[in-house]
Amino acid sequence: SEYRLANVRLRSFTNEATKGKTEEMDTITNQIVTDYQKVRSTYINSQSLASNELPKFARKAVHELPDLTTLNDELDYWKLVDTWQVLCNTIRQAKQTQLQGVINEISVQVAMEAKGPLELPVKRRNLPENVQKQLEEMEQSAAADYVELGMEPILDFQEILSMNESLDRVRKLAAMIKRERARLEAKESLIRAFLT
């Protein structure tokens, strides 16, 4: 059997493909760090947001988000992509858990009001049609809300993986993080407006 040896080196953001674009790359990576830190601190420090948006398991997960002070090379970038995807998955799981809790409450409540013995687990097909329709509408509404949230944990990341240029990948991640920062800041100001 024959072995092949390869010399491997870490790519930096200033490789052949980014010549002439390093200033833009620096600007974008600095903005990514700023936006990420703001998102991280909002999730970690904002009791009102955390208690309104995330269940306990998710609050613990976001408290473990790593600190980020620089984004200097591809390794830092891919670590951040991985971290961001974990956050997206955590938020998706939190939303699914919250929705399932509400659906379960409604299903059990309606089943308890029905005549006869309570059969557990409650099967949706055994519920009245109007309740089944209500649950389906809740699921569709939650799915639409989730898409609007912009924290999809698969498609955006597949798009990043398919990009050839570092600058394009960095721009995409920057847009994703900026969108979440803007959403959280809007939500925080709305919460503050109702509290004052």
Q: Residue 44 has what pLDDT?
A: 82
Tell me: the pLDDT tens digits for 114-170? Answer: 888 888 888 999 899 999 999 999 999 999 988 888 888 899 999 999 998 889 999
Asked if omega into 128 is within 30° of 0 (cis), the reply is no
Residue range 88-106: average pLDDT?
91
**In the chain, what percentage of residues exceed pLDDT 90?**
43
Range with the largest mean pLDDT of 44-48, 56-60, 175-179: 175-179
Q: Residue 171 has what pLDDT?
A: 96
Structure pTM? 0.80
Task: Assign 73 to helix, strand or coil.
Answer: strand
Nearest-CA neighbor of 73 among 16, 4, 112, 15?
15
- Give the pLDDT band of residue 99 (cuts 50, 70, 90): very high
Are 36 and 68 within 8 A, CB to CB?
A: yes
Q: Residue 13 has what pLDDT?
A: 62
Rounded to whole angstroms, the Cα distance separating 61 from 6 reads 38
Tell me: the pLDDT tens digits for 10-35? Answer: 555 655 555 555 888 999 999 999 99
Residue 76 has pLDDT above 70, yes or no: yes
Residue range 69-97: average pLDDT?
90
Rounded to whole angstroms, the Cα distance separating 86 from 122 reads 32
